[in-house]
Structure 1
Amino acid sequence: MNLFSGRATALDLAASARALSFQHSSEETVLAAEFHHIKTQFTPLLVPGLFGSGQHHWQTRWETAFGLPRLHQADWENPTPEEWDAALTQAIQQAEKPVLLIAHSLGAVLTMRWLTQHESSNVAGAFLVAPADIEHTTHPEASRINAFAPLSEAPSPVPVAMMASRNDQWLSNDRARLLAQRWQAEFTDAGLTGHVGSNDFLGLWSHGARTLISFVQRRLTTPAQ
């Protein structure tokens, strides 16, 4: 810092940038180690919602940074419950370890539909982020997913955690808490993070990653246990 002006110098700013970069890379390394441990026990499966998860989506970051597999759908823009259900069924049946579903938006809705309509012995648990509230949202794209209504009312047969934002156009905070109660899911406030999606630029979204890791450590068990 310039002692006369009190302003940060170019050297100060460069040092701060390096420190921030190191902090981010150190955090990613720690999270990567935790996800590696999770993968020794479970098959994590990213379950995207409408339009898939774009370049800036946390699911895409997790896929790249932590090597998590992603569910693929034939049509991301015009989803049908039957086709999306079939793709999820196939992925779960092919998994060699108990599946940990990591779902966002319509993917979270699909996950809860699947869990309450299928035999779920090969699913260890589910992490639901910002489920799309088809029954109440006024989002302009809501008509694309109306076929997935109504939302499941039954409690989940496996441990579930949910994260939701306070300013999500697809899901109000009150409805998020009601759904979490209905599904018997642990609830974590995601803050003011919009729909927790591609347009919210959350980067690695370490808050979500740490919440998921804690949930797995506390609530999920492997067959050997």
Structure 2
Amino acid sequence: MTRILLLPGWLGSNDGHWQRLWQKRYGDAVVEQDDWESPRRADWIARLEDVILAHPGPAALVGHSLGCHLIDAWSASTRHADRVACALLVAPPDLYGPQLPAVLQPWRRPLAQPALPFPALVVASTDDPYCHLSDAVRMAKRWGAQCVNLGPCGHINAASGLGDWPHGRRLLDDLLRRGRHNTGLSPA
């Protein structure tokens, strides 16, 4: 069975965030970080690696905001990317935009790996304060992913009023089916 790993961004996901609601409703696992306020890239990568290696079988990664860049950074540094069936990358922030807080600037380092080694889907909105839609499309291209435009949904977080975001869950389910087909993994 494919485990769903939820990767919150900077400051974590609060109780009203769809990631926390998915955790409660579907039993998905949130990858908790030791420091949500001053995220050290190497520490976050190591934590994700530990979680992935702790359980046999495939995982689906669902990143929000900085969690999207964690997926990218982890996949560029691991030898275990074959354990990932797919990745849903929701509202990735533009790491080169002027709105990026200083504490996140170390995440700007370029990565050697241009595309993710598993099927991926980027979900973006037209009014995300942390990323213009054109930048989300550019990131999706670099990651070898398709990009879905949700329209005006802000940063696709609790403030967006999405509740448990059933549309996002359908996107993940479709991506999981595609990931299993591409990797030969058995259905959940």
**TM-score scaled by length of structure 2:** 0.91
The sequence identity of aligned pairs, in percent, is 32
Number of residue pairs aligned between Structure 1 and Structure 2: 183
Question: Per the alignment, in what secondary structure is the counterpart of residue 30 of structure 2?
Answer: coil
- Aligned to 2:109, the other structure's residue is in SS state coil
Match of 2:128 among 168, 183, 192: 168
Deviations 1:28-65 (A, max 9, x none): xxxxxxxxxxxxx2111000001110011010110111
Contact 1:106/1:131, CA 8 A, preserved across alignment: yes
Q: Which has the larger radius of gyration?
A: 1
Residue 209 of structure 1 aligns with an amino acid whose one-letter code is R
Determine the structure 1 residue equivalent to 2:37: 77
Q: Among 93, 99, 107, which residue is 2:53 paired with?
A: 93
Measured against aligned partners, the alpha-carbon deviations of 1:1-33 in whole angstroms (never above 9, x if no partner) come to: xxxxxxxxxxxxxxxxxxxxxxxxxxxxxxxxx
The runs of at least 4 consecutive aligned structure 1 residues that moved more than 4 Å come to none
User: CA offsets, 1:60-109, max 9 Å, x none?
Assistant: 11011111111011111111011111111100111222111011000111
- Alpha-carbon distance between aligned partners in 1 of 2:23 and 2:85, rounded to the nearest angstrom: 19
> In the TM superposition, what are the counterparts of 1:199-218 in structure 2 within 5 Å?
199-218=159-178
- What does residue 157 of structure 1 align with? 117
> Mind listing any 5+ residue stretches in structure 2 that lack a counterpart?
none
Residue 29 of structure 2 aligns to a residue whose secondary structure is coil
The letter of the residue matching 1:44 is I
Equivalent position of 2:82 in the other structure: 121
Alpha-carbon RMSD: 1.6
Q: Distance in 2 between matches of 1:137 and 1:209?
A: 31
Partners of 1:151 and 1:55 lie apart in 2 by 33
Q: Matched residues in 1 for 2:143 and 2:107: separation?
A: 17
Using the TM superposition, give the Cα deviation of residue 150 of structure 1 relative to its aligned residue in structure 2, in angstroms: 3.1
The answer to whether the Cα contact below 8 Å between 1:113 and 1:151 also exists between their aligned partners in 2 is: no
Q: Cα gap change, 1:151/1:127 in structure 2, threshold over 3 Å: closer, same or farther?
A: farther
1:53 aligns with 2:13: yes
Q: Which amino acid aligns with 1:215?
A: L
Higher RCO, 1 vs 2 (CA within 8 Å, ≥6 residues apart): 2
Partner of 1:143: 102
Cα deviations by residue, 1:100-156 (Å, 9 ceiling, x for unpaired): 1011000111111111221212111111001121112415xx212111113546111
- Match status 1:183 vs 2:169: no
Change (3 A) 1:77 1:164: same
Would you say the 8 A contact 2:86–2:175 is kept in 1? no
Higher helix proportion (structure 1 or 2): 1
**Aligned residue type for 2:102:** S
Q: Any conservation in 2 of the 1:47–1:103 contact (CA below 8 Å)?
A: yes
Q: Which amino acid aligns with 1:128?
A: L
Which region of structure 1 is more displaced relative to structure 2, 214-223 or 117-126? Answer: 214-223
Unmatched runs of 5 consecutive residues or more in structure 1: 1-40
